Structure 1
Amino acid sequence: MEWYTVGLGLLGLLILFISIGLPIPFALAAASVPFLLSIQSLSTSLITAELKLWGVWVDYILLAVPLFVLLGELIGRSSIGPNLYWFMHSKVPVRGSAAYGSIGACAGFGAVCGSSMVGSLTIGGVALPEMLKLGYGKRLSSGVLAAGGTLSVLIPPSLILLFYGIVTDQSIGDLFIAGVIPGIILVSFFIIIVAIWGWLRPSDVPERDNTNPIPWGLALSAVLPVIFIGLIITVSIYTGIATPTEAAGISCVATMIMAFTVGGLRWDGFLGAIRATMQTMGYLGLLLSAGVLFGFVMTYYRVPQQFTEIFSAMELSPYLVLAIIIVFYVILGMFLEPVSMTFITLPTMYPLVAASGFDLIWFGVIYTITMELAVLTPPVGLNLYVIQALARKEITIIDVIIGCLPFIGALIVLLGLMVMIPDIALWLPSIMD
């Protein structure tokens, strides 16, 4: 069977199964089975499927995924996450402090949690009702929180960077540190957007936030754990003291202790965090396993290699190839969520990037920024619906989309800067080696 027949067949079956409502993990597996049967007998195919579906979790690095998810859930269900927002809000004595505080809290939360959706839920659940009560514009309030959640995807630890490293076999530590400077730049862009918004539309930003300042003791009980957990993750990984998995385990235990002692976490909240982590990992586990099976079939028929050879034979400019890939992901991100895109498309795309001469660590940050765009672009922008669900009676999905537009522009500008100045991502990993 020709490689292009397999490639088109896999894509066609995948689209068919998704369109009829089959969950993406099952759609990936179901699309793979007919082509698996064409190269193996039924009994052998079953064994191969079992080995691929189960064997992926033998990979030690993947143990970091549920640990980082649990870490974020523990912070979100204790008072650490909400108090982090109150600290950023009440201790910033400037006009628009609630908006700036939301960005700061999302950035701080991103430093200990790699999930965009968990970040939006945790900070947004506290900040959105407060901002609306204080008189902030609906579009500014929802936009800044939906976009702020994406900071968890870029600022390490990041689940998308973790999955990218697994698929492309790149250093997780280098990928994490490569996201630091772009993350700081993005936070700065978001702050500038809020300042300009307040200048252009002063009615959307109240002159004074009439809110009670958080006591310093309560503030420190939120800020110090986040700083401590962030240092455990970053220092242990970047100094080589621990692997990403070990760092995730240590930081998860530390978070559990602090959530119970200073975060006021109760037993029912702990059980809720465990259940939420199991639900998340049930989906991610199936998705990753099915993605490996899908990738096995593609690799057997040399679909990624042949695809790369065709593009190489066309002798396109490397930057034209990069532009095509970015546009492809931006469009695809309107219909698929980031984790699914990673396991469906990345095995085919990253060899093309490598063949074009681009650094795969640098492209990992580029890829992650496009995934941030994916969670903010309709019709399947997850963060849009997460924020709208928090204030369904007051804010429409159109309000959230319009509110996100300036922040989407900031992400596009960051992409441009990354392409023009690759050292934004590569300088920090280079001096750490």
Structure 2
Amino acid sequence: MEIALLSPLLVAVLFGALAAGLWVGFALILVGLVAMVAAAPAPPELVFATKVWGGLSVWDLTALPMFIWMGEILVRSRLSSDMFSGLAPFTARLPGRLLHVNVLCCALFAAVSGSSAATTATIGRMSLPELRARGYDDRMAIGTLAGSGTFGFLIPPSIILIVYGAATEQSIARLFLAGVVPGLMLAGLFGGYIMLWSLLNRARMPAEEPPTDRREAMRAAARLLPVVGLIVAVIGSIYAGIASPTEAAVIGVAGALILSWATGALSLTGLGDSLRAATVTTCMISFILAGAAFLTVAMGYTGIPRQLAAWIGEMGLSPFALLAILTLFFIVMGMFLDGISIVVLTVSIILPMVTAAGIDPIWFGIFLVLVVEMSQITPPVGFNLFVIQTITGRDIFTVARYALPFFLLLVLAVAILAGFPEIALWLPGTMLSR
């Protein structure tokens, strides 16, 4: 079949399958089968068996279920409430006061959970009732949570960076390092916006609370030590070259179990629930990766990626123009698909064009994650929006409207990263060149 006819057919099959409610992984397999039957001389069943086995038997993917399990254990501990009470005294004098706790808690929790949805749900259940009870503006409380919850995708150990590294055969340790400075930059942008908003909207801020004495502040700070210790153990072991990402994930699970036991939050029921939830999430991601592996080779048989790369090459786009087009493309994709699905569905087609344009694949991974973060707060399929809708009872479009300023800040972060790529590349170049 001609490529001009095959491409629209495959797009129609994909969106038709998704609209019919078929799981993303099975939808990708279906598209791959149609592509193989229409354009490939090889037997689809043999290609399917070979590529699915090869796509899932990747050593780097062993870190995935462990990091997911670590996050599920911590969701069931008292870690989030300890973070809130530990950070609150240190934000009391900043413009915006406790609104900063959403940003800081999400950044800290993202560094030990690796999941955007888990970060949003855990911090949201703890912080929103506290902020409402103290009279903070509901729009900003929800907006800061929606935006900051996306940190789970960027700040390592990030599940989506593991998926990107496995799909593109890039170093996961380098990707983790590359995500650190952009993550801090994004937290700084959010914090700066909160301060500016609070200074311009003093009437919508609650009355100042009595200052916390130094002894109470020190006791509060002590509550941060467990989470800081776990972050140092997990991320520090990777950065210091002591452990691989997989070994660091095992350290993280052991640390999470110890923290949960020490705080009295560990029970046999909770342990079983965390294992069950981690298994379900891991299986969901594995189905998507299996479907993407088969679709990747099927697309190679059709010649569509080569034709698309050649077509864009003939357009003579500069790297900045290419990135602008890809940003719009991923934002539109994010309106219909979750972040992991976007990554595994598109990288096999997009990455050859990106590398041909002279763009570093490690840097592109961070760029892609930043853009995919936007999809988490973009209706109609924004996972963070669904989570916050469940917590607050607000409809998804109201939550999206509250999150709009933070969506725009994510756009600004992408622009800054494109203008100054060393923001992502400096740390891995420095740490791993020793």
TM-score for both structures, normalised by structure 1? 0.93
Alignment of 1:185-200 (within 5 A): 185-200=185-200
Paired position in structure 2 for 1:135 = 135
Alignment of 1:21-420 (within 5 A): 21-37=21-37, 39=40, 44-94=43-93, 96-209=96-209, 219=220, 222-262=223-263, 264-392=265-393, 395-420=394-419
The whole-number CA distance in structure 2 between the counterparts of 1:37 and 1:47 is 13
The whole-number CA distance in structure 1 between the counterparts of 2:72 and 2:212 is 27
Paired position in structure 1 for 2:18 = 18
Relative distance call for 1:303 and 1:233 in structure 2 (3 A) is farther
The offset of 1:306, in angstroms, is 2.4
Q: Is the 8 A contact 1:168 1:347 kept in 2?
A: yes
* Percent identity of paired positions between Structure 1 and Structure 2: 34
The whole-number CA distance in structure 2 between the counterparts of 1:228 and 1:363 is 30
Greater mean deviation of Cα atoms: 196-205 or 370-379: 196-205
The offset of 1:232, in angstroms, is 2.2
The offset of 1:216, in angstroms, is 7.2
Q: Is the 8 A contact 2:137 2:204 kept in 1?
A: yes
The one-letter code of the counterpart of 1:72 is: G
The whole-number CA distance in structure 2 between the counterparts of 1:7 and 1:245 is 38
Q: Is the 8 A contact 1:139 1:399 kept in 2?
A: no
The whole-number CA distance in structure 1 between the counterparts of 2:7 and 2:224 is 50
The one-letter code of the counterpart of 1:265 is: L
Q: Is the 8 A contact 1:138 1:399 kept in 2?
A: no
Relative distance call for 1:12 and 1:218 in structure 2 (3 A) is farther
Relative distance call for 1:151 and 1:263 in structure 2 (3 A) is farther
Q: Is the 8 A contact 1:134 1:210 kept in 2?
A: no
SS in structure 1 opposite 2:359? coil
The Cα offsets for residues 251-306 of structure 1, whole Å up to 9 and x where unpaired, read as 21222122212363222222111111112112111111111111120122332222
The whole-number CA distance in structure 1 between the counterparts of 2:222 and 2:110 is 18
The offset of 1:34, in angstroms, is 2.8
Greater mean deviation of Cα atoms: 173-182 or 81-90: 81-90
The offset of 1:249, in angstroms, is 1.4
The one-letter code of the counterpart of 1:150 is: T
The whole-number CA distance in structure 1 between the counterparts of 2:317 and 2:266 is 56
The offset of 1:184, in angstroms, is 0.8
Relative distance call for 1:170 and 1:15 in structure 2 (3 A) is same
Greater mean deviation of Cα atoms: 208-217 or 236-245: 208-217
The whole-number CA distance in structure 1 between the counterparts of 2:279 and 2:110 is 21
The Cα offsets for residues 80-128 of structure 1, whole Å up to 9 and x where unpaired, read as 1221122112443326432111111101011112110000001011001
The whole-number CA distance in structure 2 between the counterparts of 1:154 and 1:99 is 21
Q: Is the 8 A contact 1:83 1:218 kept in 2?
A: no
Give 5+ residue unaligned stretches, structure 2.
Answer: none
Paired position in structure 1 for 2:426 = 427
Q: Is the 8 A contact 1:147 1:407 kept in 2?
A: yes
The offset of 1:388, in angstroms, is 2.0
The offset of 1:317, in angstroms, is 2.1
TM-score for both structures, normalised by structure 2? 0.92
The one-letter code of the counterpart of 1:108 is: L
The number of aligned residues is 429
The whole-number CA distance in structure 2 between the counterparts of 1:61 and 1:152 is 19
The whole-number CA distance in structure 2 between the counterparts of 1:113 and 1:409 is 25
The whole-number CA distance in structure 2 between the counterparts of 1:361 and 1:125 is 34
The whole-number CA distance in structure 1 between the counterparts of 2:136 and 2:216 is 24
The whole-number CA distance in structure 2 between the counterparts of 1:168 and 1:55 is 13
The Cα offsets for residues 292-338 of structure 1, whole Å up to 9 and x where unpaired, read as 11112012233222211221122222221121111111121122111
The whole-number CA distance in structure 2 between the counterparts of 1:215 and 1:74 is 29
The whole-number CA distance in structure 2 between the counterparts of 1:255 and 1:239 is 21
Q: Is the 8 A contact 2:149 2:384 kept in 1?
A: yes
The whole-number CA distance in structure 2 between the counterparts of 1:263 and 1:182 is 35
Q: Is the 8 A contact 2:338 2:383 kept in 1?
A: yes
The whole-number CA distance in structure 2 between the counterparts of 1:57 and 1:179 is 24
The offset of 1:7, in angstroms, is 3.5
The one-letter code of the counterpart of 2:358 is: G
How large is the Cα RMSD of the aligned pairs? 2.3
The offset of 1:4, in angstroms, is 4.6
Relative distance call for 1:57 and 1:212 in structure 2 (3 A) is farther
The whole-number CA distance in structure 2 between the counterparts of 1:413 and 1:37 is 44
The Cα offsets for residues 315-374 of structure 1, whole Å up to 9 and x where unpaired, read as 222221121111111121122111111111111111111111111111111111101111
The Cα offsets for residues 219-254 of structure 1, whole Å up to 9 and x where unpaired, read as 567522222221222222223222211111122122
Relative distance call for 1:316 and 1:228 in structure 2 (3 A) is same
Q: Is the 8 A contact 1:6 1:298 kept in 2?
A: no
